[in-house]
Structure 1
Amino acid sequence: MKTYTSQTNTLQNLRNIPPPWLKFLIIVLLVLGIYLRFVNLDRKVYWHDEAYTSLRISGYTKTEFVQQVFDGRVINVDAIQNYQRPHSETGVISTINSLAVDEAQHPPLYYVMVRLWVQTFGNSLAATRSLSVIISLLAFPCIYWLCLELFESPITAWMSIALLAVSPLHVLYAQEARQFSLWVVTILLESAVLLRAIRLRKRRLWGIYAVTVALGLYTFLFTGLVAIAHGIYVMAIEGWRLTKTVKTYLIATSLGILAFVPWIINIIHNLSQIDRTTASAQTKQSLSSLVANWITNIGGLFADFWRYEPFFPDLNLPILRWGRFLVPLLLILVIYAFLFLYRRTAPRVWLFIFTLSGLPALALILPDVIIGGELSVRARYVMPCYIGIQLAIAYLLATQIIAAKLIVRKFWQSVIVLVILIGLLSCAVSSQAETWWNKGSHANLEVARIINKSHNPLIVSSTSSLNIGDLMSLSHLLNPNVKMQLVVEPNIPNIPRNFSNVFLFNPSQKFRSEIEKNYHLTMIYQRGRLWKIVPQGGIKN
């Protein structure tokens, strides 16, 4: 009996080792995935949120920026960009302070890192975004380690790398000057360390887990949801008893949170500012709209090439449009993967993925449904859920391609090929776009084209709505000869008459009404909220 058991275990271990052809394929995909993260890094629009990253790099607060730029003077585009680069008179402490004052909901770890990065490598768009790309590469060893700890299966670990390499969602956020690629790494690292600490029960590992909790919290606040999901998992596998493992988890997590207390105090002191800053995420949406976005985002984890039309209006390829019919199939694949995981793995495995995916998602979905909001449709906030989905899919595909029946192996090999191809196609299409679905400020591209083609242009705008971030974004698209005249509402600028073309960018209704008392306004580009201003007495050249 012992010999038979030993032979069975040996056979099982051999089956869990990926065959050489699969290793070679995944290495090729890994190389492609790395290339796709670096290609055309400066091509896409440097959008609203990324522009705020650059404001943090400068070390100035939004108030200081507005006071010195939105004062009614006619300024060059470079005057806007001057507040998006590091300065000798500001330093890392200034970067932390600007976050603490303006955006306490964003902890400082990533912003300190990118400040030091651009001081060393320059503040071009490609250089600024390259830090996120390099950080994203750490996700590959982290997800491999996590799969080994969770599944004890090298083939599943290799499969997870393949899925991560060609995932459009991860490629897009790896190329963005925001903290989300770092957050993915901390989620994976925190999870792997937790599982290893539970398995080996060593105090040193629990200490490392405490550090990963602190690092995660200083990267993004929603790491707290990941820690809660981990806590539910630990208590569940311990039978909801206060065992030594549960106690150790609570101590380690408490130490991680304790290290984050200084920023928690800052958050409490700035709750009203946070509420104003995040007002755009509190827009109520219908349940049908929420559900449609959730499904679309799940599909976007694997493919999104069918979303090309707004960004390539002249590209008439029906085969790309037909790709949207893959979304229901991808959703069925995800649901089946979770059912398969539940039926084929021990509770310690499926429960980990269920809690990692479910709790952070529900924590965002329920408030959006009950109170109103759209946090749950912003894919970057639901990363733990998407990581759980990828782990479930990796296990399903890895298990089925080594199934005993030939027909089963062939079918799932076909599924793997399809998933990889649509992921590669999506990354290839989006890599050529100037903007994509994950970027705001889409209209800035056309706004800039219109203004850049005009002779002797002036842009008039104010602090209305999201203009501060959009104007910072727009500054990277405008020609150096473009001038700006910016004011704080309700002030109305005294527009000089020596410009051939004067444009009004995204005014509030009141601001526009005041301008119309002395000028004629003509809508130039509705989506970009751009008007042309003509003095009632004409223009003096």
Structure 2
Amino acid sequence: MINRQSLIAKYFPPIGLRFLIIILLILGIFFRFAYLDRKVYWHDEAYTSLRISGYTKTEFVQQVFNGRVFAVGDIQKYQQPNSEKGLINTINSLAVEDAQHPPLYYVMLRLWMQFFGNSVATTRSLSAIISLIAFPCIYWLCLELFQSPITAWISVAFLTVSPFNVLYAQEARELSLWMVTTLLGSAVLLRAIRLGSKHLWGIYAVTVALGLYTFLFSALVAIAHAIYVFAIESFRFTKTVKAYLIATSVGFLAFVPWILTVINSLSEIHRTTTSAQARQSVSALVSGWISNISYLFADFWRYEPFFPDLNLPVLRWGRFLIPLLLILVIYSFLFLYRQAGTRVWLFVFILSGVPALALILPDLIIGGKVSLRARYVIPSYVGVQLAVAYLLAGQIISSKLIARKFWQLVMVVVISSGVVSCAVSSQAETWWNKSSHANPQIARIINKANKPLLISSNYSLNIGDIMSLINLLDTQVQMQLVIEPSMPNIPDSFSEVFFYNPSKELRYELENKYKLVEVFQYSRLWRLEQKSS
């Protein structure tokens, strides 16, 4: 075991492999910035823009869902920085209605949009740029953890063309920043433990604060780090433990103002996260966890709902990779446990296990589906990618020719699957990580209509989906929004009238006066026509 670990640590990737990884790096950068505005600017991203505008959801509903007819262009101020609301209003909007999202990313994005503009591509480009910082961070983390250049290179290769990471690098949410703070904080922690420098522990305190101000679940990363530090110090109060506790305490103290905000908003947080509390069967949970893990490496078989006219059986067969990828991940952790030192495998196991179990156990015991939302388990997926990279780094330099060729083939298949997945999803208008799937098609129908009026209400998730639609509709399209159960007073001056997702009760009321024609199946869009007398 010592010989194998020593070999992996000393082995530097040959020129050919380095050249391949540089090509993959270029591809990964391309996939992150290509077609940034192609995919639907979905429900959650629309709420990002609402926060950036400085308006609250309550203000938006009060000022817009009042039954008046207006042009789409008249309400775009609720989706971009404007002169009426400043940076403080952006922070206040989060504090009042969305405290589960700390303000760091939103402050950065507002400043970015004020300087560079507010198009969809510009808005998403900040996340794409931040995602590039993850490359040197994971390289550094691998050097600190494995002391292995080849493992670091392979980790970068996986990260660059991971369909999961590329998808979230193109989204106007804080997830790219969370990935960076997780990787950076982990690398700094390991270096601080190794060198014992007060300067490094100070930097670690900063990464703790930055992580918490990026995403609340960064607290789970800090807990994982704490367990690791105590474990490697044999649960004794050593100088390292003392330094860790001081640094972490400073990081959490810096976060106290937002902690108080979260405490004051617990009822609002509970209300806005109700959809994640629906109980799921154990089989549904397990199936979802396995699928999410596979998306780290490939997801091209998910193309059918988004390319209904594309008939490529070879892509559909890709779903048979799911059990193989699961086997690869499980074997990677076993290999890591058997071949790496205790400090190495313990770090990866704890980083993967703590955030995952913190979400999985409540879903199993109390009920819910938070653990099915892959974006919430990003630190765990970092651990998965590190384990797989270590396995392949160790096996592709095996002294046995057959084993070496087999694992080289495995690496080629995994990386190629990631490239194909990124290439396929880059051409889609939407993908599995987004809702609001039908909005692009709905917008095309409305934009092509002759003098259209779009009506909707505050029913269900309509508010976020309407904000998503705003980014797709022509600015001259007219809208009329109401608060249910109010009935809209529909003017007679429009050639075509559409209703977006009315509740059953409102639809029943409308059917007393109009004929409702479903525009296309499952679209939630209806055309209102006068009943023949």
User: Normalising by structure 1, what TM-score?
Assistant: 0.96
Shift in alpha-carbon separation, 1:9–1:361, aligned structure 2, 3 A = closer
Query: Please, which of 365, 370, 377 is the counterpart of residue 365 of structure 2?
Result: 370
Kept in 1: contact 2:5–2:339 (CA 8 A): no
Give structure 1 stretches of 5+ with no counterpart.
Answer: none
**Deviations, residues 478-535 of structure 1 (Å, cap 9, x unaligned):** 2333211001122221111121211111112222233233333232234221222224
Query: Please, which of 115, 122, 127 is the counterpart of residue 132 of structure 1?
Result: 127
Query: Please, which of 386, 400, 407 is the counterpart of residue 381 of structure 2?
Result: 386
User: In structure 2, how many angstroms separate the alpha carbons of the residues matched to 1:285 and 1:516?
Assistant: 35
SS of corresponding position for 1:460:
strand
Paired residue for 2:398? Answer: 403
Query: Please, which of 460, 469, 493 is the counterpart of residue 464 of structure 2?
Result: 469
Query: Please, which of 326, 330, 334 is the counterpart of residue 331 of structure 1?
Result: 326
Matches within 5 A, 1:416-427: 416-427=411-422
Paired residue for 2:430? Answer: 435
Kept in 2: contact 1:80–1:472 (CA 8 A): no
State the shift of 1:24 in Å: 1.0
SS of corresponding position for 1:533:
strand
Please say if 1:191 is aligned against 2:186: yes
In the alignment, residue 119 of structure 1 is paired with which amino acid?
Q
Matches within 5 A, 1:150-229: 150-229=145-224
User: In structure 2, how many angstroms separate the alpha carbons of the residues matched to 1:459 and 1:139?
Assistant: 42
Matches within 5 A, 1:38-437: 38-437=33-432
User: In structure 2, how many angstroms separate the alpha carbons of the residues matched to 1:44 and 1:227?
Assistant: 34
Bigger mean CA deviation after superposition, 496-505 or 423-432: 496-505
Kept in 2: contact 1:338–1:392 (CA 8 A): yes
Shift in alpha-carbon separation, 1:531–1:72, aligned structure 2, 3 A = same
Bigger mean CA deviation after superposition, 381-390 or 450-459: 450-459
**Deviations, residues 120-163 of structure 1 (Å, cap 9, x unaligned):** 11000110000000000000000000000000011111110000
Kept in 2: contact 1:69–1:79 (CA 8 A): no
User: In structure 1, how many angstroms separate the alpha carbons of the residues matched to 2:418 and 2:349?
Assistant: 24
Aligned residues: 532
User: In structure 1, how many angstroms separate the alpha carbons of the residues matched to 2:279 and 2:498?
Assistant: 32
User: In structure 1, how many angstroms separate the alpha carbons of the residues matched to 2:371 and 2:180?
Assistant: 21
**Deviations, residues 42-81 of structure 1 (Å, cap 9, x unaligned):** 1000000111111111111111111111110011111232
User: In structure 2, how many angstroms separate the alpha carbons of the residues matched to 1:56 and 1:10?
Assistant: 49
User: In structure 1, how many angstroms separate the alpha carbons of the residues matched to 2:227 and 2:5?
Assistant: 34
User: In structure 1, how many angstroms separate the alpha carbons of the residues matched to 2:283 and 2:74?
Assistant: 44
Kept in 2: contact 1:138–1:185 (CA 8 A): yes
Bigger mean CA deviation after superposition, 311-320 or 401-410: 401-410
In the alignment, residue 262 of structure 2 is paired with which amino acid?
I
Shift in alpha-carbon separation, 1:500–1:342, aligned structure 2, 3 A = same
Bigger mean CA deviation after superposition, 117-126 or 513-522: 513-522
Shift in alpha-carbon separation, 1:517–1:281, aligned structure 2, 3 A = same
State the shift of 1:537 in Å: 6.4
Kept in 2: contact 1:506–1:530 (CA 8 A): yes
User: In structure 2, how many angstroms separate the alpha carbons of the residues matched to 1:448 and 1:438?
Assistant: 20
Kept in 2: contact 1:59–1:94 (CA 8 A): yes
SS of corresponding position for 1:445:
helix
Kept in 2: contact 1:33–1:165 (CA 8 A): yes
Kept in 2: contact 1:61–1:102 (CA 8 A): yes
User: In structure 1, how many angstroms separate the alpha carbons of the residues matched to 2:532 and 2:63?
Assistant: 31
State the shift of 1:10 in Å: 13
Bigger mean CA deviation after superposition, 46-55 or 72-81: 72-81
In the alignment, residue 330 of structure 2 is paired with which amino acid?
I
User: In structure 2, how many angstroms separate the alpha carbons of the residues matched to 1:138 and 1:107?
Assistant: 20
Shift in alpha-carbon separation, 1:503–1:130, aligned structure 2, 3 A = same
User: In structure 1, how many angstroms separate the alpha carbons of the residues matched to 2:381 and 2:9?
Assistant: 30
Matches within 5 A, 1:444-523: 444-523=439-518
User: In structure 1, how many angstroms separate the alpha carbons of the residues matched to 2:168 and 2:383?
Assistant: 17
State the shift of 1:182 in Å: 0.4
SS of corresponding position for 2:248:
helix
User: In structure 1, how many angstroms separate the alpha carbons of the residues matched to 2:84 and 2:427?
Assistant: 38
**Deviations, residues 333-382 of structure 1 (Å, cap 9, x unaligned):** 00000000000011100010001001100111111122221111111111
Identity %: 70
User: In structure 1, how many angstroms separate the alpha carbons of the residues matched to 2:509 and 2:5?
Assistant: 80
In the alignment, residue 480 of structure 2 is paired with which amino acid?
Q
SS of corresponding position for 1:343:
helix
Kept in 1: contact 2:9–2:149 (CA 8 A): no
User: In structure 2, how many angstroms separate the alpha carbons of the residues matched to 1:260 and 1:537?
Assistant: 63
In the alignment, residue 443 of structure 1 is paired with which amino acid?
A
User: In structure 1, how many angstroms separate the alpha carbons of the residues matched to 2:387 and 2:311?
Assistant: 36
Shift in alpha-carbon separation, 1:28–1:363, aligned structure 2, 3 A = same
State the shift of 1:40 in Å: 0.7
